[in-house]
Amino acid sequence: MFPHATLAITPFRIAHSPQEIADLNTLLRLSPFGPETYENGTARASNYGIDMHRMRSVRDAWLASDWHATQDRLNTMPQYIARVPDHDPRTGKRTTMDVHFLAYPSDRHGTVPVLLLHGWPGMGCFELQPMVEHLRLHSKRPLDIIIPSLPGYLYSSPPPTDREYDFEDVARLMHTFMLGLGYGAGYATQGGDLGSFVARVMACRYDQCKISHFNFMQLKLGTPAIAATPLEDPTDKAHVARWQKFQKTGMGYAMEHATRPATISFAVASSPLALLAWLGEKLLDSFTDMPLPTLLQWLTLFWLTHSFSTSIYMYRHLSACGDFTVAPTAAERADPTCRMKGLKIVGKKMGYSTFPGEIFPVPKAWAAKTGDMVFYRLNEKGGHFAGCETPELLGKDFAEFVNMAWPADEEKSKL
């Protein structure tokens, strides 16, 4: 499966016991909803968060769901655990992290390794698995498709408890992971939400990260490069208005994650209803029409793996993330102990896809300020969780980007 791997890799199967499901159902039955209020009434659904009717209907469906049938289906997918050694250059500490991942290697020569990175509240590797068939359908090159669960999600190790852990740390672990799988000659990345930050750091930091595609960018409106690029197209202006509205009315969760992560972790971990409210609001609002079985699978995986508390750590570092329109200096790139102040991708090709339901849809002219953008597409449908909601579109976009952007000399070197 991984003939050139240097990591310890073992097959993995999900195995939650009937007692765990019984405990979950007991909590679902006993947890109170609280009183009906003006804010949680159906007439104001989504204006102030998830409403009471939706909470009750999803809770009832959750109680009636068959987790073990879902578990059996997930276990048909090629899951693995890789033991990845990590050295933190800031503290000098060494540890070994488990990385839970799906792998779809090609048996042909000249493969392009591609790494798909989810965000929050990502369903780990399972969120992006629907992209696989579409990547293969549209790619002109054979692909080795690797989809990890980021640290703190599902069955991957949580972040260490004795030190800070941020985008640079996750990027370093993912890079070491890809090298350990045998992809030292180079790989491509695709990232959405928080995964886009990880992928961007990898592109700026590591030569082996050859090309990168994104379906999310969180630009800073006040930066000189953005301020100097006025928008004329009405669609672009509408996208920025949507972006600004979300910043005003939809960012409360991110502020809580960033400023009081311990507090919200205790609150959400106390009840599956709390998890439903906190995650369900974002998922149901972001999907055009989220299938109920998908939502229940998402919630159950998060609950059974205690992923909420260990998955929100990167939010504390969003405000300190570098400017996407400024290139990192050579000294910053060479020094693994520093945090790069610029994250513009220089000397490598990048692509960007956006969707009408995206919470931060970035205009093409602004996206082009963040790197050598050779691919751009505004899709006609889809939203923030495009890899799960419209995998046929994001998969096609990424495949077309790889077709045009993967270096020709890299392809020849693998033949």
279: nearest Cα among 260, 297, 259: 297
Is 315 a catalytic site residue? yes
Annotate 279-331 with DSSP letters as a single string: HHHHHHHHSSS--HHHHHHHHHHHHHTTHHHHH-GGGGGSTTSPBTTSPPPHH
Q: How many Å from the N-terminal Cα to the C-terminal Cα in the chain?
A: 18
Residue 145: what residue type? I
CB atoms within 10 A of CB 13: 11
Task: Find the catalytic residue in 155, 253, 315, 376.
Answer: 315
**Helix count and strand count (H, E) for the chain:** 19, 9
Q: Which contiguous run of DSSP H or E holds residue 164? A: none
Is 107 a catalytic site residue? no
- What angle separates helix 194-205 from helix 167-180, to the nearest 10 degrees? 70
User: Do the Cβ atoms of 191 and 197 come closer than 8 Å?
Assistant: yes
For 344, residues 6+ apart whose C-beta sits below 8 A from its C-beta are 204, 323, 324, 325, 326, 327, 328, 369, 370, 371
Task: Find the catalytic residue in 169, 193, 236, 397.
Answer: 193
- What angle separates helix 52-64 from helix 272-286, to the nearest 10 degrees? 110
For 233, residues 6+ apart whose C-beta sits below 8 A from its C-beta are 363
Tokens representing 278 are 């906190």
Q: Which contiguous run of DSSP H or E holds residue 101? A: strand 94-104
Distance of CA 130 to the CA centre of its chain: 14
Q: Which contiguous run of DSSP H or E holds residue 72? A: helix 67-74
Which letter does DSSP use for residue 134 in this model? H
User: Do the Cβ atoms of 155 and 124 come closer than 8 Å?
Assistant: yes
75: nearest Cα among 32, 23, 134, 12: 12
Is 384 a catalytic site residue? yes
Q: Which residues are catalytic?
A: 193, 315, 384
